[in-house]
Amino acid sequence: MPELPEVETTRRGIKPWIHHKEIIEIVVREKRLRWPIPSDIREKLINREIISVQRRAKYLLIETDIGSALIHLGMSGSLRVIKHNEPAGKHDHYDLILNNGMALRYRDPRRFGSLLWAKNPLNHKLLKQLGPEPLEEKFTGSYLHSKAKNRKITIKQFIMNAHIVVGVGNIYACEALYMSSIRPDKKCKYITLKQCDDLVKSIKFVLKKSIKSGGTTLKDFKNLDGAPGYFKQKLMIYDCKICKCGVKVKNIKLGGRSSFYCNVCQK
DNA sequence: AAATATACCTGACTGC
DNA sequence: TGCAGTCAGGTATATT
């Protein structure tokens, strides 16, 4: 489920409920996530105040005075704020129980997500090598163009590479390429500077728009009424049958991922 | 270094 | 209704 806008929406949704609260207990029901939940996670986090709730790429950073919990939602993870005694479901793998009667509960049927701990999260092995944030100013068309030079892969696989730019998942890669009229299977070396400018603008636009829409679901966190209820994004090309030009949408595999595009609108 | 293949999982859906 | 097969929005890691 989570692409960057969903992770950012989650961050904004949980922050008011957990910021400046103390973690008084951690319940781990299933430690076998992508990596095992570290056995010392309780001693690292218990009796610590949450002093900030940040995001880097698709990782959520729950910061305390001595280090941070590093949470990734994988393919199917979600976080909710619940009353601490709410019965856990099958895939509710852990709770961070807070000193306000609430708990941050993690659910993840596929268990591709993670809960790790790091003293300095930005120096953590998983975060250190990452490319720029897509919404940062230094992510520009000329940056992308300079990196794309001499690359043999397709432009879609390129923009989904977290060492180039973080947070561009399969759906938004398709959408951004459609918006900038570039075929997903176009080889990097044939992409012009102008196209990189357009593509970067499209990536920023589609992510911002989606974060804005995701924001409309924040009340779900406030209501604490179960499912996160992510906003069903209006998609222009992903999972679509017919392009707005009337032609049938193509769906090819690139690097094993479904890639939707219009043979007429994208060149 | 860069490209490609592989691995981790469950659940929803399709076609027989 | 059941069963096998396919697919899913991520990404680190091993292999070439």
Average confidence (pLDDT) over A198-203: 97
Write out pLDDT tens, residues A12-66: 999 999 999 999 999 999 999 999 999 999 999 999 999 999 999 999 999 999 9
Grade residue A213 by pLDDT with cuts at 50, 70 and 90. confident
A74 touches strand C (CB under 7 A): yes
Residues of A annotated as catalytic (active site), given as ranges: 2-3, 58, 257
Q: How far is the CA of A74 from the C1' of B8 (A)?
A: 11
Q: How far is the CA of A148 from the C1' of B2 (A)?
A: 12
CA of A232: nearest nucleotide by C1' is C9
Pairing of strands A92-98, A68-72: unpaired
Q: SS3 of A41, please?
A: helix
Look over chain A and give the mean of its residue pLDDT values, rounded to a whole number: 92
CA of A2: nearest nucleotide by C1' is C9
pLDDT at A101 over 80: yes
Structural domains for chain A: 4-123 (3.20.190.10), 141-261 (1.10.8.50)
pLDDT value of position A230: 45
d(CA A213, CA A9): 9
pLDDT value of position A1: 65
A161 touches strand C (CB under 7 A): no
Of A81-95, A115-129, A211-225, A230-244, least confident by mean pLDDT is A211-225
Protein contacts on strand B: list nucleotides below 7 Å from a Cβ.
2-4, 6-11
Which of chain A's residues 113-132 bind strand C, using a 7 Å CB cutoff? 125-126
The burial class, CB within 10 Å (0-12 / 13-18 / 19+), for A138 is exposed
Q: How far is the CA of A101 from the C1' of C8 (A)?
A: 35
Higher pLDDT pick, A227 / A187: A187
What stretches of chain A adopt beta strand conformation (E)? Answer: 22-28, 48-49, 52-56, 59-63, 68-72, 78-83, 92-98, 102-107, 114-118, 250-254, 257-261
Q: How far is the CA of A260 from the C1' of C14 (A)?
A: 29
Average confidence (pLDDT) over A94-116: 97
User: How many residues are present in chain A?
Assistant: 267
Which of chain A's residues 124-143 bind strand B, using a 7 Å CB cutoff? none
Whether the predicted model's global pTM rises above the 0.85 cut: yes
